[in-house]
Structure 1
Amino acid sequence: MDVYRPQIILGVGLSSAYTIWYAYRTWSHHRSRCGFCQPETHTAHGFIVASQEKWYACSAEVLDRIESSKLIAVDCFWVGSVLTRRKIALLAFCTSAERITFVRLSELGEFPEELAAVFRDPTIIKVGIDILAHAAKLYEDYGIETYGCVDLRYMAMATPAAKRKLLRADSDLSLISMMNVLLDANLSRDYRMLYSRWEARHLSRDQIYYVTGQVIGAFGLAVKIAQSNDWVANAIGYLLKPYLWLDHFIKIHYASYIDLKFSRDRICRHAVPSKPPKPDEKTLRSYNTLKTPLYDNCVLLCPDMEHLCTCDRRKAQWYLDTDLAEKVKDDPLTVRLRFEPAQRAILDAQYYCLVKHNICVVCGSPENLVRKYVVPREYRKHFPKIMKHHNAHDVVLTCLACHAQYCWYEDLFKEQFAKHCNAPLSEASRKFIDNKALREIQRAANALLKVKDNLPEERRQALEDLLKEHFEVNELTDELVDYAAGIDFREANVDFVSHGKKVVDHFAEESGLLVLETMWREYFITKMNPSYLPDMWSPDHHHDILAVKLSFIEREDPREAESLRRKLGITPEQLHDIVERLKHEDNVNFNRINFQRGRLLERQS
């Protein structure tokens, strides 16, 4: 007890001093604070700033809170994907778990100068997941420099108690995973919200709840991780509000991580290798490479000479042989159809009119090419037909080395889906299972056929009795033993649901299949960094066309359209926004479009 007495005295003294200071600070803080802004300038969780007027109305209180806490949890949201990203549309931050500020930069048009000063100030700590990447985007989009950033993953892995919990739970160090483990917050990833329209005129209630959970969760993690350092920090955390101590604590205990870009190489984790192993020659020889070019780039024209698509030489020649088309020229082979096609190249279907090169989309090599399905076939085969019809966008060419490398990454991603969707990849979920009784019969018969003379009499008799009992006979013939040795002990697993089917069903019920499709496309881009993808190749390919198809199906069969809309993960508001955008921004004339047999046909005027 004497050993801990100095620490106890110090802790009690500090706690008492901090309690007195806290009482005075709280009194003076509330005394000097301005009143709450008008109802239209805030939600139950804080402020929504969508105009300069609203910023002027609430900026005094927002800046006062920031100045008091010297710490904000920050997150940014934008429309787009890995290939194409629009400017940050929404900046959200909080100084406590009670108040959050939504700054709608897409509506404001410019970044408030008072807020820019906050982000430039290195004495104001900014916490979040991948906070340095968000800072880089702020600079790229609005020229705002950001200092004083601390990645929560560094904080967690530098704090032994938090690190142990995360490693024990096999956390992937995402915000949701860390909240689940450290805050006991049972949240799930809502990919539909992540890919929602952050530039919409008004944020939906779901979007507001999603952002609130992300930002308040990040703030809660900063508090929880800091409190996990030792019993003194834990006591201070319970006695005092975070704005009284958290920024100082982070500046002292995590100073080396301020403005340090996150890298997994800098943290000690028991994980799989960060890079795929180099494939050996035996592995490479197991793949069947293409013997002929995949792309012949022959051209199909509509009767009015409009480009329909490119195709292989065999298909173009078939049209000529059946007198369904006439030759226009030989190089490249170009044929004009004699009939109106069921589908014309509208919207991003122009992708299929472009010339494609027979090279690896990753490294550009023309040798040893194989087809690679960016969205694995085990998932894609369970997609609705409307997503697959006339859509070869996700079949790309890779060389053997790049193909083997991506297969390694692909398996890692499948493991994440297996865990997230409760869709195991192990043999416990295999299509066929062993009938243990029949397997014993086969083994007994094989033993009698191969080593009967070497078996002890008692063992031989037991095996023969087993077979007699199974076949319900008194005498065991050689023919019956031969039959038993060849018996098939595998049975169909009536409860079998493939991994791919489970994952597709999960996304169809939760976030939507378009999210699953986009995730695989973006994963391929992120992991392989392909330099030779065809022009117009996009993670969002075909999504606008799907929205148009849905709008036409809705006229014929509203119930079917509603079912498809839910599976795809398109909300009615999103469907309406997409159709309106296509009308006004892309000049799509819906009066000239017809929907037939699952395909789009643009009528001739």
Structure 2
Amino acid sequence: MDTYLKLKTFVTSTALAVGFAGATLLILKYKLRKRNAVDALNYLIIRNVITEESCDEVINELRRRIGLHKAVGFDCEWVTNQGRRQPVALVQLSSYDGYCGLFRLSHLKTIPNSLKELLEDENIFKVGVAPFDDAKYLLSDYSVSLKSTLDLRHIVELAGHTSGGLAFLAQSELNIILDKSWRVRCSNWEVDELTQTQINYAAADAHVSIKIFVYLINKKYGSIWSWLNRSSDNKVWHNINNICWKYADIGFKNKHTSKLGSEIKKDKEGKLTKDSVVSKRYPHATRSKPLYHNCFLVAPDGELLCTCDTKKAEWYVDKGLADVVNDNPLTVRLRFEPSGRSVGDVGRYYQLTKENKCVVCGGDNSYIRKNVVPREYRKYFPEIMKDHSSHDVVLLCTGCHQRSNMRDQAVRERLAEQCGAPLAAHTDNKFKEDADCKKIRSAARALLYQSRKHVLPEERRKELEQIILRNFPQHEQITEELLQKVADMQVVFENIDYESHGHKVVEYFMKHEGLLQLERLWRQHFLTSMRPRHMPQLWSLDHNEQRLKIRLEEGRLSDEDAKLIGL
């Protein structure tokens, strides 16, 4: 009897286990089946926005729904007319739970403040594929400075998955098949009323991005149940800024392209070698050698004046102006009395040793010099303010440098408006291409080519010859010598109407607020936009003001210069 009961229990347990396993397989099979986007995303709540009132309503609802993840799915659509991109016509934003706003910029007279503020809110990630490029278009078309864009492919690689376009990621991560038909993708996004197919397409692109983002973050950092059920793990999302901040506003590069951080070589002591890779994006800027050598320059009485690089220290010695008093660290003593000594925190700043690492994230694999006050303005400063400009040169890693430059553009836009100094457009550059000259030169080059290859039809050949003869009436016929002369003619000329944006901004501040205010503006912007955690000690917003006040008190600065710079 006992044997029978044991056998019965075993059979029952086995049957239950098999049943459970079968049910689990059926559930997994159901979850892993591939579905088209219309069926898979039939829960979406989609709002078309064509008025400022409806925009405010949708933005408020989005903000309410994205509080946990601090991110929205993001995408843009525009029309291409004869190969030329038109202004962005549609911005799509989606919350994780399926609330989608389709903001029809082509129908809104201006960008509503509520939408602009959300797009420029650096505390909310805008997740998509290549959002960094869309940010450039929004800035160019509408002066919207999109902040905290997050290319989904960074997170895909972070999770150890294979990257690709949005359609590939939707299928591989969510088993959703997106409609990527060119008929929809290249349709008229400025039309009076979007078709249901366009609406589904636009909403799906934004929503799938945020779905993949949440799924991958939960899978990598959350519990197993959070990513199996594609639900949210609250503990993970309290730390999302620390996870994603370093990828914000950074364009994505595929693995087959050069990845600076992973290819930098070090020797056994951990120092950078001469084989360090130079970034293709910044071809001559990425440093493979330390910027700060931290050699010491001392006065004749032994008082420390400042730190400097090896080259500068050796220059003093080679010129007979200083003597080496220590080899490690290299210390040289001047043979003459310097024009000034270190005074206060301003002077002590130059005495401190500096670290060769990114001042934002602390990375020390590679670094690029960053001019906190951009050179396009600094180069027009008076000489008195160009001295000791090293205070505004800091080191950034490649990613932080790219992010910083992106965020600088918003300040340039504001200065352009404030100072009446428009940024140079493609048609307003320092040099201009003469379209007529280019047409004539092209005709000559075509004739030169055809004379050797005999490919131009007779009618076309005569047409090109007439173009040249009309513009060179002193020649009665086409000759090889004439063709060669015209083929080499200049087509780019200096634009006499061009005015430098940087020069006009500097002139404005010299007349109104003073250049010290312009310096302070850029320094404050760097601190606010990049939140650096490794700035040099004693780095200050008012560094130059303090330095120049000391010079004024010592009688080494004229009242006229003091007024000019805003003291």
TM-score by length of 2: 0.49
TM-score by length of 1: 0.47
